[in-house]
Amino acid sequence: MDPIISIKALSKVYDNGFAALNKIDLDIHRGEILALLGPNGAGKTTLISTITGIVSASSGQVLVDGHDNVKEYRAARQLIGLVPQELTLGAFETVFNTVSFTRGLFGLKPDPEYINGILKELSLYDKRDNQLRMLSGGMKRRVLIAKALSHAPRILFLDEPTAGVDVELRKDMWKIVNRLRDSGVTIILTTHYIEEAEEVADRVAVIRRGEILLVEEKTQLMQKLGKKQLVVEFKQAQDGLPDSLNDYDVSLSDNGNVLTYTYDATADATGITKLMLLLNEAGMSLKDVRTTQSSLEDIFVNLVHQDEPIAETAA
Ligand SMILES: Nc1ncnc2c1ncn2[C@@H]1O[C@H](COP(=O)(O)OP(=O)(O)OP(=O)(O)O)[C@@H](O)[C@H]1O
C-alpha cells in the first residue's frame, strides 16, 4: 500500500543558519500510530511543522496522500489535523464557535452535531458557551484537540500531547486515539514519555540532531535491541565461576551472591537449560531465579546518547 505520507530528503535550515532537519526520508503507513522519539531539540516539532506547512522546508519534498504539501497545500492540509504543543487560542470566542470556525476554515459546511459529538468526547460539552479565557490550561488543551478534529482529518499529528496534562485528559486522549485508529486515521505523535510510545505506537522513529536514526515496528525493535537477562541468586556466596561457564555471557555480582546471564531472547537456543545444568553440576545451589528485559526506554537511551553527554530528558 502507498504510504499516506512520504517524506523525501527533507531539510530545514533556520534563518540563523541552524540545520534542524538533515535529509529526512520517512514513509508513514496508512492507519498506523507512529511515535517520534528524540531528546529535546532533536527536530521533532520542526519535522511536524514542516509536514503540516507551518514551517517551510529548505529542500526536499513531502507528499500527503499524493499531494505535494507546498504546491497542493490546501489538498494536503485538508487531510491533516494538528494538535500543537503550545496553547495558541484566542480569548473571547466561545468553545463551540472556535471549534466550528476551524471546521469552516477547511471549507466544510457547519455540522453542529459532529462538533457537539467531539465536545462531548472531550468533556467540553457543558463548557461550549464559555469564553476561552475562562478555561483552565487543561481545558484549553482539550479545545486544541477538538479544533484539530473539527474537519474529521485522516491524519492526526499530536505534538507532546500529554506533557503536563492531568491523568483524566491523558486517559481521554488515548481513548480518542484508539477510536480514531479503529476508524483508520493515521496518528503521528511525539512524546517524551517513552512508556507511552511503548504502549500505543505501532512503529517508533528515533530522531536525533535532525536525522532519523531508525524507524521500526515497535515489537521488532524491542526484540532486536532488547536484551534479556536471567538473574540467578545463590544460596551461598560464590568465590568465582567454574570454567564450564567460560562460553557464557555471565557475571557475578553482589559479593558473589548473584549471577547475571545476558542472552538473546529471539535466538532458537537461549542456552538457559544448559546453564542451569552446569550450575547444578558445579554444586551451586539456587535460591531464586528471575528474568528481566530491557524496556524501550533503555533502548532509546542507548541509541540516542551514544557518543554524547546525557541531554535533558522530560520537558
Ligand atoms: N525558529 C527557529 N530558529 C532557529 N532555530 C530554531 C527555531 N525553531 C527551532 N529551532 C532549533 O531547532 C532545533 C530543533 O527544535 P525542535 O523544536 O524541532 O526540537 P524538538 O525535538 O521538538 O524538541 P523538544 O522535544 O524540546 O520540543 C532546536 O535546536 C531549536 O533550538
- Whether the predicted interface score ipTM is above 0.90: yes
In the DSSP assignment, the letter for residue 56 is -
Dist. CA 191 → ligand 1 center (Å): 15
Q: Which three cell numbers mark 232?
A: 540467578
Q: Where are the domains of the chain?
A: 5-209, 228-306
Q: Which triple of cell numbers denotes residue 141?
A: 488543551
Residue-level pLDDT at 314: 40
pLDDT for 13 equals 96
Predicted pLDDT of residue 226:
60
What is the structure's pLDDT at 313? 42
Name residues whose C-beta falls within 8 Å of residue 116's C-beta, 6 or more positions apart in sequence: 96, 125, 128
- Nearest atom, ligand 1, residue 192 CA: 25
Q: Which pLDDT score, from 0 to 100, does residue 51 have?
A: 95
Q: Are strands 228-234 and 211-217 parallel, antiparallel or unpaired?
A: unpaired
pLDDT (0 to 100) of residue 315: 38
- For the record, the C-alpha cell of 122 comes out as 472531550
CATH number for the domain whose boundaries are 5-209? 3.40.50.300
Closest ligand 1 atom to Cα of 46: 18
Angstrom distances, CA of residue 223 to CA of 131, 156, 214, 219 = 49, 28, 14, 6
Return the exposure string of 5-29: e unless at least 16 CB atoms fall within 10 Å of the residue's CB, then b: bbbeebbbeeeeeeebbbebebebe
pLDDT, position 155: 96
Which residue has a Cα nearest atom 23 of ligand 1?
41
CA of 41 to the centre of ligand 1 (A): 5
Q: Are 24 and 60 contacting, i.e. CB atoms less than 8 angstroms apart?
A: yes
Q: What is the predicted pLDDT for the residue at 202? A: 93
Q: What are the residue ranges in the chain where pLDDT is below 70?
A: 222-227, 266, 294-299, 304-315
